[in-house]
Amino acid sequence: MIGIFHIEEAIVVNQLLIKGGQVVGHEEVYQPGYILVEDEKIKRVGPMEEVPNDESFHIIELTPDQMVFPGFIDIHIHGANGYDVMDGTMEALEEMTSVLPQEGTTSFLATTITESKEATDQALQNVARFVETDYTGAEILGIHLEGPFINEKRAGAQPVKHILRPDLDQFDAWQELSNRLIKVVTMAPEMEGGQEFVKHLSDQGVIASIGHSDAIYEDVKKAEQNGLKHATHLFNGMRGIHHREPGVAGSVFLSDQLKAEVIFDEIHVNPTMVQLAYQNLGAERMMLITDSMRGKCLRNGVYDLGGQEVTLQDGEARLADGTLAGSVLKMNEAVKNAAQLKPMDLMKLAQLSSGNVAKSLGVDHYKGAIREGLDADLVVLTEDFEVKKTFCRGYLTIDK
């Protein structure tokens, strides 16, 4: 049934009709349009002249300037509102699933950091336990294992002392421990055993994502032949473009298959460089992420990331030496920033914020678009990309 949450009460109705505003559909933008939701799924979508009329519908009317997007999918997020995936507690994941719809995120990958084996064990087991509970809010689609199979030369804010060489047995043990929830692994293919590791991940249907890597062009091309699919936070934590060596970033541009995450907070990457990436990758191969840490939603202060002190000041999270340590970016802010890219339209923005990730994860048959039969994961935005309402699987979880 459709649950409409208003603070402490839930109104249950048979069908929900959202009408008015711009509806960013799978194949076109309806201006204005409607979405009919039934039993957590999108039943119908179309232009207002085709809107069904039934007195039994629970109706939500939008203003002409509001936009309905597919709910955002963040495949790289560590924490928010004082909690982190590495806390390894049910409370941490409960808080994250509750707070993320405030920025329009309806699904995400719980993302780890390079930590001790014991801490990683606990975090993975905790996610596996949590997804079996009857939780509400943003849905955890799996786990993004960021490290520890990375290059210490490009560690960034990843604790160097816990970095490991690519280890098939260790990965398999963690995959088993997580109940096979690991969907993405950030790793460095140039390390000893790295190419075999990429192939091992690919053979298991896990996305190998190059990141925290000092690889050269030949390493990246070989890894791509072995099944490499993604690049983690493009430009950050990787060998950059040089006129004598394309590096990881240049190799991603030269590929016609690799998709790339981008932290578009205008801090991690200069907007002009994001435009350069967009012109090379197109809307089909760029994915907006937050890479946010526990300081998101909180005031300036000192917070923990992987056992390290991180200072949050005026929207920037940094280690004591000045190294960027994740972000406090919200997905709706990333989408607003991406709207500046050219050429851009609402359907391309939906690709960057949900559609591309859904395809990569193999969940596009039920996530990532406003289309009949898919989960009713929806976010209503103002023309300035402020979140007004968020629906998670048909439930109105945010109503501002």
- Are the C-beta atoms of residues 353 and 334 closer than 8 Å to each other? yes
Q: Is 325 annotated as a binding residue?
A: yes
What are the beta bridge partners of residue 262?
288
**Is 244 flagged in the annotation as binding?**
yes
Identify the structural domains of the chain with CATH numbers, from first to last: 2-69+368-399 (2.30.40.10), 72-361 (3.20.20.140)
Say what the pLDDT of residue 3 is. 42
Phi, psi of 336 (to 5 degrees): -60, -45
Given a contact cutoff of 8 angstroms between Cβ atoms, the answer to whether 389 and 5 are in contact is no
Contact 160, 327 (CB under 8 A): no
Distance set, CA 332 to CA 14, 210, 283, 335 (Å): 30, 25, 17, 5
Residues 6+ apart with CB under 8 A from 178: 124, 125, 127, 128, 143
Burial 235-252 (b: 16+ CB within 10 A, else e): bbbbbebeeeebbbbbbb
Task: For 190-246, write each residue's pLDDT tens digit.
Answer: 999 999 999 999 999 999 999 999 999 999 999 999 999 999 999 999 999 999 999
- Say whether 212 counts as a known binding-site residue: yes
- Enter the DSSP assignment of 206: P
Q: What is the residue-averaged pLDDT of the chain?
A: 94
Rounded Cα distance, 220 and 188, in Å? 9
3-class secondary-structure state, position 373 = coil
Mean pLDDT by runs of 10 across the 400 residues of the chain is 38 77 96 95 96 86 97 98 97 98 99 97 99 97 98 93 97 98 99 98 98 98 99 98 97 98 97 98 98 92 84 87 89 98 98 99 98 98 98 94
Backbone angles phi, psi at 74, to 5 degrees: -105, 110
The Cα 234–Cα 390 span in angstroms is 28
Alpha helices per DSSP H over the chain? 90-99, 117-130, 168-177, 194-203, 217-225, 247-254, 271-281, 331-338, 346-350, 356-361
Distance between CA atoms of 353 and 289, rounded to whole angstroms? 8
237 annotated ligand binder: yes
Residues 50, 76 contacting (CB under 8 angstroms): no
Q: Following CA atoms 78, 81, 87, 93 in sequence, which dihedral angle do they give, to the nearest 10 degrees?
A: -80
| Model pLDDT, residue 13 | 53
Rg (CA), the chain: 21
- Residue 238: which of 208, 211, 198, 278 has the closest Cα? 211
Active-site hit among 74, 214, 219, 291: 291
Tokens representing 174 are 């963690």
The rounded distance, in Å, linking the Cα atoms of 110 and 7 is 26
The answer to whether 324 is a known ligand-binding residue is yes
User: For the chain, how many residues are written?
Assistant: 400
Neighbour-count burial of 87, counting CB atoms closer than 10 A to its CB (0-12 exposed, 13-18 middle, 19+ buried): buried
Tokens of 156: 């960034």
* Measured distance CA(40)–CA(33) in Å, rounded: 19
The rounded distance, in Å, linking the Cα atoms of 398 and 380 is 10
Say whether 236 counts as a known binding-site residue: yes
pLDDT in tens, 38-76: 999 999 999 999 999 877 789 999 999 999 999 999 999
375 belongs to the catalytic site: no
CA angle 111, 116, 121 (to 5 degrees): 60
